[in-house]
Amino acid sequence: DIQMTQSPSSLSASVGDRVTITCRASQSIINYLNWYQQKPGKAPNLLIYTASTLQTGVPSRFGGSGSGTDFTLTISTLQPEDFAIYYCQQSYSTPLTFGGGTKVEIK
Amino acid sequence: QVTLKESGPVLVKPTETLTLTCTVSGFSLSNLRMGVSWIRQPPGKALEWLAHIFSTDEKSYITSLKSRLTISEDTSNSQVVLSMTNLDPMDTGTYYCARMQRVGASWFGFDYWGQGILVTVSS
């Protein structure tokens, strides 16, 4: 099974900051890497698929990059509504697997 | 408009079998480009993928729970059903169904999710 490791597990940032979250796969997943945002009590929301493609309706301040085993989610200018938990997930092979999550908190 | 909605019991006793139903609308389960997964989340913990179905012949399961899970679909009623046997309190959590699309051998993200159903396993 492919293990997905996210770092950091949590971070504190201020509105307007640039935020970067990293996801590492235990083997190459080419670019089959997706990012989700989850707010308390809600289902996750797809932000980015295939590493860098922005899902329809997602603000352009969200960006994804990477290939192989190392991937990054960047929020260029953090907004108040961006405080949430972010998950990466590989869709290269089954069993599908998620990272452990990164909680973005207000500094 | 694509929607998914989970239904089933919210309280189950240990050792019992849990059966959850995901009713979908806005797309057809007969479309082999569209598949549905079950994903769970224990309170305060991370997401865990459980199972996926693209068609009656294309199913996949999480390795650690494979012996306890069965996923099936009823295309005429637009439903995907997950059964989990021998429940334990550790199975307590919110269970989501979600849609994933594919093109050829390429699978994409979970683009639509149900609201989730909180299942508690307790005697």
Confidence tier at B68 by pLDDT (50, 70, 90):
very high
pLDDT score at B32: 87
Residue B95 at interface with chain A, using a CB cutoff of 8 Å: no
Task: Give the count of alpha carbons within 13 A of A13, CB side only.
Answer: 24
Angstroms from B45 CA to nearest CA on chain A? 8
CA B113 to each of CA A5, A6, A46, B20: distance values in angstroms, whole numbers, following the listed order: 23, 22, 9, 15
pLDDT at B57: 80
What is the model's pLDDT at position B104? 84
Q: Is B63 on the interface with A (CB under 8 A)?
A: yes
Q: What is the pLDDT of residue B118?
A: 98
Nearest-CA distance B38 → chain A (Å): 11
- Chains A, B: CB pairs < 8 Å: 66
**A40 preceded by cis ω (within 30°)?**
no
pLDDT band at B55 (very low <50, low <70, confident <90, very high): confident
Among partner residues A36, A50, A99, which is closest to B108 by beta-carbon distance?
Answer: A50
The CA distance from B72 to the nearest CA of chain A, in Å, is 17
> What's the average model confidence in pLDDT over B58-84?
96
Q: What is the mean pLDDT of residues B65-77?
A: 95
Residues in chain A whose beta carbon is closer than 8 A to a beta carbon of chain B?
A: 1, 32, 34, 36, 38, 43-46, 48-50, 55, 87, 89, 91-92, 94-101
Tell whether the model's pLDDT for residue B88 goes beyond 90: yes
CA distance B108 to chain A (A): 6
In this prediction, residue A79 carries a pLDDT of: 96
Asked if pLDDT for residue B56 goes beyond 80, the answer is no
pLDDT band (50, 70, 90) for residue B74:
very high
Are the Cβ atoms of B107 and A32 closer than 8 angstroms?
Answer: yes
pLDDT of residue A61: 98
Distance CA A24, CA A82 (A): 22
Instruction: Indicate the residue of B49, B107, B115 with minimum beta-carbon distance to A98.
Output: B49
A96 contact residues in B (CB cutoff 8 A): 37, 49, 52, 60, 107
The mean pLDDT value of chain B amounts to 96
Instruction: Enumerate residue ranges in chain A where pLDDT < 50.
Output: none
Structure tokens at B44: 């305060």
What token pair was written down for B32? 């082999």
Q: Integer distance in angstroms from the first to the last C-alpha of chain B?
A: 39
**Nearest-CB residue to B63 (from A1, A98, A101):** A1
Task: Kindly identify which residue of chain B lies nearest to residue A3, measuring between CA atoms.
Answer: B48
Residue B17's pLDDT band, with cuts at 50, 70 and 90, is: very high
CB distance B73 to B35 below 8 Å: no
Distance CA B32, CA B89 (A): 35
pLDDT digits (tens, 9 = 90+) for B20-44: 999 999 999 999 899 999 999 999 9
Buried b (16+ CB within 10 A) or exposed e, A15-47: eeeebebbbbbeeebebbbbbbbbeeeebbbbb
Quickly list H helices, chain B. Answer: none
Q: What is the pLDDT of residue B106?
A: 87
Residue B103 pLDDT exceeds 90? no
